[in-house]
Structure 1
């Protein structure tokens, strides 16, 4: 069956915007379709299944986050790169993308597809973008994997804590300490 690729991409973008606002948990096709100006039957025409649509939405959201990181100007140091990445990661758009990722990752932990595969794919692309940014700021490529493992885990934990009311000045200090640690790893 030949499908209208442009319409599929348009629906994917609209559905992603909806999911970024509403979340994945409890996602139902009828309210989604109504909100984006189509029907659930048309969504299933353009996407093989609800799982295919969800996987596509996760890819679109991740692409947005990766594009944001890749569009950052080169940071003047590894320490500054961490602070720049934190600023971008906590922007409203990126924050919504990260929350969607966390929901999908939680479902993936339960072994549910397409979440396992899509989250793995998204994480690889995200980590590559972080590593490239750190390397451009002066981190040795050989140390980038270690630096990014710490950076990504710390960012994820901090982002999960933010909605729980972490003290803002304490959070800034933690990010500053993280920047110092990553800079130390980068230097060897």
Structure 2
């Protein structure tokens, strides 16, 4: 068992800064090399430290993996929100503008994380649940301000579920024409929703 005083220093401002620095490096490695063969030792090499230092700052390899995936998702969401803000216009146009970000840099790793959650839900279900918690506030914020909470939630969940389906289709079949047809239908549905 770790000495409580020793472990407490990990929560100091300096300890938190070090933890963020390590997490950034591990997330970068994950973004380049994916989840296959992820281990504490590989993470330590990527972070330029030892596995013991990582265990000091994280609650084991699964916690480190989860935190690194969350970090990659935060990056992806930031890029998607930026693309949507630059696009402006209708909700449909902003959602469509997010697609290149969703299939772009580091996206394959995040899709692997969802696959892990489906493959071994007992260990990795939180990776899928956390994706919803991370994306829904962004999608809710994109909905018109004059919509009530229930309507915003329903539309945000529709968008999230549809985009997840498109991502699975993209990764498994690469059917760009099918995804484009789906986007056309989603765009029409969102435009009708905004007009009512």
Per the TM superposition, whether the score is higher than 0.5 is yes
Q: Deviations over 1:13-45 (max 9, x none)?
A: 111122223333542111222233222222112
The answer as to whether partners of 2:114 and 2:128 remain within 8 angstroms in 1 is no
The answer as to whether partners of 2:41 and 2:50 remain within 8 angstroms in 1 is yes
CA 118–168 in structure 1, closer or farther in 2 if over 3 Å, else same: closer
The answer as to whether partners of 2:88 and 2:94 remain within 8 angstroms in 1 is yes
Residue number in structure 2 paired with 1:123: 132
Residue number in structure 2 paired with 1:12: 23
Say which SS state the counterpart of residue 111 (structure 1) adopts. Answer: helix
The answer as to whether partners of 2:169 and 2:179 remain within 8 angstroms in 1 is no
Runs of 4 or more consecutive aligned structure 1 residues displaced over 6 Å after TM superposition: none
The answer as to whether partners of 1:69 and 1:88 remain within 8 angstroms in 2 is yes
Q: What's the TM-score, normalizing by structure 2?
A: 0.78
Question: What is the rounded CA distance, in whole Å, between the counterparts of 1:61 and 1:42 in structure 2?
Answer: 21
Are 1:135 and 2:131 matched, yes or no?
A: no
C-alpha RMSD of the superposition: 2.6
Question: What is the rounded CA distance, in whole Å, between the counterparts of 2:60 and 2:180 in structure 1?
Answer: 43
Equivalenced residue count is: 183
Residue number in structure 1 paired with 2:193: 185
Higher relative CO (Cα under 8 Å, sequence separation at least 6) belongs to 1
Residue number in structure 2 paired with 1:86: 99
Q: Which runs of 5+ in 1 are unaligned?
A: none
Q: Which has more radius of gyration?
A: 2
Q: What's the TM-score, normalizing by structure 1?
A: 0.81
Corresponding residue to 2:111 among 86, 99, 124: 99
Range moving further from structure 2, 20-29 or 175-184: 20-29
Q: Deviation of residue 170 (structure 1)?
A: 3.1
Q: Which runs of 5+ in 2 are unaligned?
A: 1-6
